[in-house]
């Protein structure tokens, strides 16, 4: 079980790294496209060569968008499967065996029994006195 969850954690980390890398590339492509458009704001329509770098960046941005969409989908699916594989209960401390036995001696039992019996008898007598006074 530990190996399975370890592989799942590694898979999520790799997908997260790839997603972050593609997101950086996408942001770079969008910034580059804006920079190239700003460099030639009033380009001559007869000179199509000026549009080529901007169009390349646009194609890169579209490709990175498609890749990023798939990576995010795979990342979320991996996270869901990782949550399913993780155990709900984790062992915090292992028991130390054999456990110590708690032994009550006869003397202790008699003392506790005496006080408990006295308490119960006094409650019984108080309740009986209350009922007898209510009846009279």
Average pLDDT of the chain is 87
Would you list the domain boundaries of the chain? Answer: 2-85, 103-136
pLDDT in tens, 66-101: 999 999 999 999 999 988 887 766 667 777 888 788
Contact between 55 and 32 under an 8 Å Cβ cutoff? The reply is: no
Query: Which residue, among 11, 76, 14, 81, has the nearest Cα to 22 in the 3D structure?
Result: 14
Q: What's the pLDDT score for residue 68?
A: 94
**Residue bearing tokens 């901007």:** 54
pLDDT in tens, 21-43: 999 999 998 998 888 878 777 77
> Is residue 106 over pLDDT 70?
yes
**Cis amide linkage into residue 84, ω under 30° from 0:** no
Query: Which tokens hold the place of 49?
Result: 């060569």
Which ranges in the chain belong to alpha helices (H)? 2-39, 52-85, 106-135
> Is residue 50 over pLDDT 70?
yes
Contact between 13 and 79 under an 8 Å Cβ cutoff? The reply is: no
Q: Who wins on pLDDT, 15 or 47?
A: 15
pTM: predicted TM-score of the whole model, two decimal places? 0.54
Q: What's the pLDDT score for residue 70?
A: 96
* Highest-scoring range by mean pLDDT, 79-83, 119-123, 132-136: 119-123
Contact between 64 and 25 under an 8 Å Cβ cutoff? The reply is: yes
Query: Which tokens hold the place of 37?
Result: 């458009």
């Amino acid at each position: 079980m530990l190996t399975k969850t370890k592989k799942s954690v590694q898979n999520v980390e790799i997908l997260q790294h790839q997603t972050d890398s593609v997101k950086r590339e996408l942001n770079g492509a969008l910034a580059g496209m804006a920079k190239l458009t700003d460099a030639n704001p009033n380009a001559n329509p007869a000179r199509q060569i000026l549009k080529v770098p901007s169009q390349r960046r646009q194609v890169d941005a579209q490709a990175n968008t498609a890749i990023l969409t798939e990576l995010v989908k795979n990342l979320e699916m991996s996270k869901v499967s990782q949550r399913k594989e993780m155990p709900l209960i984790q062992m915090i401390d292992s028991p130390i065996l054999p456990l110590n036995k708690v032994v009550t001696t006869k003397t202790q039992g008699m003392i506790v029994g005496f006080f408990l019996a006295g308490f119960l008898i006094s409650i019984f007598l108080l309740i009986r006195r209350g009922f007898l006074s209510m009846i009279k």
